[in-house]
Amino acid sequence: MVSLDDLSALRDRVIEVVGQFRADSRALHDRLCEILVAQDYQDLIGQVIQTVVQLLQEVEAKLTTMAIVVRRHRKAGRCAWGRGRAGTVGRAACSAASRLDQAREKWTSCSRPQGASAP
């Protein structure tokens, strides 16, 4: 038979274990909350980065389209402001096209191996 002192000691031990379990579960809960907050932060940052990348892709596509249109106008002789020609593209657009051509030439000359001719 189990004595009253043994039951009392067992009860004290159970209370101690339950208290430790509560403390451990609180610590685990707090840690899991920290992890979830960090994960949410990463998700938000990922969404912001994705939005910025999409915006940059749109800007790139629009600038490419503009450069193609301006280049076509230049080839057709429509970048002749001050000559009274109908359908001219603005001075800023033609100037931008010239700068794009210069930048492209610099880029291709920098990336070309020594002694290689221009494309």
- Say if residue 6's pLDDT is above 70: yes
- What's the whole-model pTM score? 0.47
The residue ranking higher by pLDDT, 104 or 62, is: 62
- Say if residue 52's pLDDT is above 90: yes
* pLDDT over 90, % of the chain: 38
In this prediction, residue 78 has a pLDDT band, given cuts at 50, 70 and 90, of low
Angle of helix 91-111 relative to helix 4-75, nearest 10 degrees, comes to 110
Instruction: Provide the pLDDT for residue 45.
Output: 92
pLDDT digit string, tens, across residues 12-41:
999 999 999 999 999 999 999 999 999 998
Half-sphere exposure of 77 (CA within 13 A, CB side): 4
